Chain A
Amino acid sequence: MSFVPLSSLLQAPTLAPMAHSFAPVVLGDHTEKPGIQLNEIRQFRVAGKGYVFVPAVTAIFGLDELGAEILGWLRPLDYQSATAIEAVQTPATRHAVLGEIVAAFEPRYHRSAIVGAIKDLRDIGVLRLVGFREEGLKAPAPKLPPMPFPQRTLVLNVANDCNLGCSYCFAAQGDYGTPKRMMSEETARRSVDFLLGNSGVHKSVTIVFFGGEPLMNLKLIRRLVDYANDAGVKAGKEVEFTMTTNATYLTPEVIDFLSENRIGVSVSIDGPKQYHDLRRTYKSGHGSYDFIRPRVLELLSRHKTRPIAARATLTHGVTAVQECFWHLKDMGFHEVGFAPVTSASQDEFALTRDEMWQVLGEFRQLADVYVEDALQNRHLGFSNVSNVLSELHAGVVKAYPCGAGLGLLGVGVDGDLFLCHRFSESKEHRMGSVQEGLDTAKQEQFLRQAHLSRKGGCQVCWVRHICSGGCHHEAYTRHGALHEPNAHYCEWIRTWIDLGLDCYARIMDGNPMFLEKFIDKRGA
């Protein structure tokens, strides 16, 4: 039956249109050669054994000889240097069909073993069979963590002042460039309430006493510890305390207080006197080593309820890592960690490129000692290695380099909230206050912009899920931009993670219980 318009005298044409699907014009060539294709991996050998690291999900596998040889055949190890960026496909990778690989290995291995090895490698995402509907492992799609994100740690600037004048201080010699002030009790209580109130599912929270020099406001700390313990009980949460101090205010009474209240202590000390006094001076320029040494020793002998850590900053001329390490260990510190100073490249205390690589060489030697101890079930206490082992063991896939702005916030002396303690008192990076609450719009904006997927340069780097671009403050100081990856560190970090993988493989295959005993317990 056909239809005609009322006003029309003509017959309508009788073509009946049929549904057609449109063939899109395809631009670009997406064809891959059929066969076996390596996914993004980093393969390495330790003591003759083969291993593979899968960056997409931070998985580490040991391989048997056949598996390692197959990978080496597809892409020879010497094509990758410790410092090279590995893209998903490098030109050096050989395309091969299954038959070719079997033919290459058949004289020495059974066909079924070869095929079995390839299947295993496929199953763990190391390679894929192209043309067989299979894909490489997908890294998790970028998205914001669920909001509101529970708070875990607050770093309180309890004293916006310091009695020392260390030349490299990121807090501008202790007061972040703002008027010297002590945090009031009211603000400190609000901070504790804020932390407990926003801790979500966390069963325990951490308060870090920071500054300036936090012990300049000991009175507040004493009161706050009591308040926080009470508040914690009421909220049904455990409250932990830690403190970073320059050690100049440590008297026996103070030490006892710290010990009784189980406050973990991190002492800022750079090594033996000749290194420490180069930078960690009073405002007069006089070194502080002689003054703090007896106090530190007193701390280490009296305070037994929590581990005491030494945090040493490496600067221009202060790169003798092993010397400093053993000196501090001999003093009695349980853990020693080293951090290269955060600097603009023209700062006089900035490490040169050569010094950075010297430091890495020293790290490597110390790491060897660490591994030897680990194989004997002893923990050396070299924090840098413990940290990287911890992340590798967990298989972290980090969208952000740290918890700043997420589960960790800095609180300024007046109660303002900042990304972390390094941004304390920086108006630009203010994210609300403990009085008004967290500015979630700002937080969301920060998290959006800081997400790893926004760092273009990181996308082809195989350590991206562990490094995630590096410290925001470091980037801000060096590059003037919060969200830039720390490009000046990239090669170094990749080499460092390579070293970490090496240590990890040796320990896991030599004494797997070590990691569970010493590293797993550390927590995120």
Chain B
Amino acid sequence: MKADSIHRYLLGTASLLLAAGVWLPCVHLFSRKSPDSFRCKESIAPKARELAARHLELWTDPALRRQELEKMRASNAEWDFMGRSFLVWSLANMGLREPASKQAYVRVMDQIIDETIKLEQEHGIYFFLMPYAKARSYDVQPARSLFLDGEIALMLAARRTLEEKPGYKTLLTQRVNLMVERLKHGTLPIAESYPDECWTFDHAVALAAIKLADRLDGTDHEALPRDWISMAKQKLLHRESGLLVSSFTLRGDPLDGPEGSTIWMAAHCLQLIDEDFARDQYQRARKELGRTVCGFSYAREWPKSWNGPMDIDSGPIVPVLQISAGASGMAFTGACAFGDDAFLSSLAATLDFSAFPSRRDGRLKYCASNQVGDAALLYAAVLGPLWETVKRESKR
């Protein structure tokens, strides 16, 4: 090889390395914005408003909605259901933040709640569950899923918190009674979401719904959340990380380790039950699952001490870095709920950089996401006021 070529190769390689060394640490600066662009303390952040506009459009255009829901149901019927839940919870928070728009939000919330309950009544619980729910029968009969009962109860409670609707009072009381009955059925305060498969996410949501119902209707289920926390501390903490496991049996035996797609939302819901325990779970999740590389943050689905399988909740996992789309999306809820602005800011940079935002006429969607993913992001951007109604009451 000629000396000229060697010289060229060396110089070329050195230039590339130097350029990479300069560029790569700077990339995040182009996507990084103040956390206020995603979430405002008092009002509604511009991005949240754009996300909400897209969802409101889906619920006013039946053809568009059908198209979106078909896409999600082709992968997972749960997403159809959770997309509804996250949107109703988001609209409740938006209405509390912006009372002038309350009536517009309430109309869509009622439409979603009524249609969801109707679908559940017409097709049964399996309509919103994954097919394996039918593989065996539920241990506790008649079959009920805490996943559905908890989220529907929280939808009803959120709607009634924003504005009372007498027709929903009975529906909420029925749901809460069903959940309480199931949670008190055995020796442990545990209820099934799938046959002998119980989820921390679903229990946390159900307990938050019961707490909101207590505030709305003056009922008292104080002992139940306390018993659940006590049981969880005894049976559901992963020894190595101290994080709550994601799923377990009716006897409280873990089926899985901790998961990013569960823990962030669970910690947020547990803020209504045991603030200190919830914060401890968030901080552990942040340490075990939160990662920042070159200014971009993301979340892993599992801590280093647990090796779980890639599944529908985690989404595809990026090898080496272990980036999980599901866990990273839900990490927004954790960061917003616990006021972690540094983490939120770098998560938002990752979102803008790699989730492919698409804007049209003031509406925003993320192409790499789907309706449920975008609804979960919207919820993270506006959460707060709904929980505050309970916290204020507790302080009195």
Q: Do A and B make up one complex?
A: no
